[in-house]
Amino acid sequence: MDLVDELMLEHARIARMLDHVEDVPDDERADAIRALVAELVAHESAEETVVYPALERCAAGGSSIAAERLAEQHEAEDMLADVEHALREGTVEDGLLSRLRAAVIDHARAEEATVFWLLRTNLSEADSRRLAARYDRVKARAPTHPHPWAPGGRLRSLVFAPAAARVDRWRDGHRADSDPASGPAHWDPPVDAVAVLKADHETLRLLADQFERQGEAAPRAVLERLAQEVARHGVAEIERLYPLVARMGPDAQNLVKKARLDHEEIALRITTLTSVPLGTHDFREEAATLVRELREHLAVEEGEIFPLLGSQTSAAELQTLGEKLQRARRRAPRSPHPHAPKSALGSRMADRLLHAAEVVERVAGRR
């Protein structure tokens, strides 16, 4: 997994935690808020240590963009400190949480539109994977409480954050020991099928935006990454989602039929684009059509298929489906194959063979 993939998953997780805070029963709300604060603080600390320095090094104009995003994070940290103070006072007003939610979502969208795009197009695959691993290590040792008064810059990330993290984790352990009912400031979201698919959609939209913004200089790296995500998402839906939805009635069958055709058309567009010279009129036309068709497909699924799935499937079934979708994604080919079988069973067999062939090809290429 590369750095941008890691950060997109983090954004999806945080979005689900924000939803959880709104939906959780009152007697569980304080712990949900503590978990959200801890997640946001650790995420921001790891970004400040790993992501923004990488952005400054790899892209022209990266320093100014990093400064803008860091300013947003520091404003959010002030709000997180207000949230923690309100928790100690015994109640957190909905208005404060609403302001925090808006700030977090706006910041995430700004990162996805600027920071992620620059990282995706300027970092090599090896560097991006190396930074993703470092991000995980830093986040695991990051502070879990806001410290808005702390110094900024390199001093904060290299000296203050490790010391603050040790104090914060001692505080968390002490709180759990003195009040076991409160539990640790941690929350693992359930593996819900709709959440898995929405996270896929966010990644696909980000890649489509990045691809569209490249204009005539669109690098093959972004197209290859988009192709890989389209392949993974398509395999998961065709093998696991669509057979389930098709059993929900004639209207659902028509939706699934249209969605399958969309996947085939999008796969054909990507296959065509890989053989069209960059910067040509044909490339620009095919690229624009691909982005438009992909966005339309995602909108239809979110507007019609996801609500149907949520209304006719139990929470336990959604969790089981979510796990199956994730397994299917892991075993998917790295590029779409528009002429592969489209039935659930045929797709599953073809995808396993294609995936195995790609693994053999990659291993042989390393020798």
Phi, psi torsion values for 202, nearest 5 degrees: -60, -40
CATH number for the domain formed by residue range(s) 193-366 = 1.20.120
Domain map of the chain by residue range? 3-182, 193-366
The domain made up of 3-182 has a fold known as Four Helix Bundle (Hemerythrin (Met), subunit A) (1.20.120)
What angle is formed at CA 202 by the lines to CA 199 and CA 205, rounded to 5 degrees? 150
CA distances from 347 to 140, 225, 248, 324, 341 (A): 38, 21, 21, 15, 5
Asked if residue 101 lies in contact with residue 76, where contact means CB atoms within 8 angstroms, the answer is: no
pLDDT given at position 358: 47
pLDDT given at position 365: 56
| Tens-binned pLDDT, residue by residue, of the chain (367 aa) | 789 888 988 888 888 888 888 888 888 888 889 899 999 999 999 999 999 999 999 888 889 999 999 899 989 999 999 998 888 888 888 899 999 999 999 999 999 888 988 898 888 888 999 999 999 999 988 888 888 777 666 666 666 777 777 887 777 776 655 554 444 456 666 678 988 898 889 888 888 887 887 655 556 777 888 888 898 899 999 999 999 999 999 999 999 999 999 999 999 998 888 888 877 888 888 889 999 999 999 999 999 999 999 899 998 999 899 999 988 888 888 777 666 655 554 555 444 554 455 444 554 555 5
* CATH fold match for the domains 3-182 and 193-366: yes
Asked if residue 196 lies in contact with residue 318, where contact means CB atoms within 8 angstroms, the answer is: no
